[in-house]
Amino acid sequence: MPIEKVIIFTDGASQGNPGLAAIGAVVKDTQGGVITSISQGIGRATSNQAEYRAVIAALEAAISLGINQVDMRSDSELVVRQINGRYRVKNASLKPLYQTVKQLQNRLKGFTITHIPGQENTEAHNLAIRALK
């Protein structure tokens, strides 16, 4: 039976700003079972760029799995508020990343993104940190 809805936790990490960066994400079913995870280096980026790249990679993974509804959680208040339209995207390097998120979001039947405290995002955080090493 195909999975319709998932909960995704994302995080980006950067050693320096900008510096060596990585992303982490965990895609879970609605019962909390892990469907897939992402832990990869992305080269040189700012922490905000890494946060956006984590969201993009997670959305691409969900879409490739045929998932139609995503409930995303991130500890990046800036990224969450920009994607939700509460903050404008002023930084030129973030604008194309934001546009990519919006394009991916439009391919889904349902999408939400919510800000969570860092202590609720340890799995994605640990995946990003692991990819930095």
Number of domains in the chain: 1
Tell me what pLDDT residue 35 has: 96
Q: Domain of 29: which CATH number? A: 3.30.420.10
Q: Is the pLDDT reported for residue 2 higher than 90?
A: no
Domain with 37, as residue range(s), is 5-132
| Token couple for 2 | 């195909």
Enter the pTM of the model: 0.97
For the chain, the average pLDDT equals 97
How far, in Å, are 21, 68, 119, 121, 128 from residue 42 at the CA level?
6, 26, 24, 20, 10
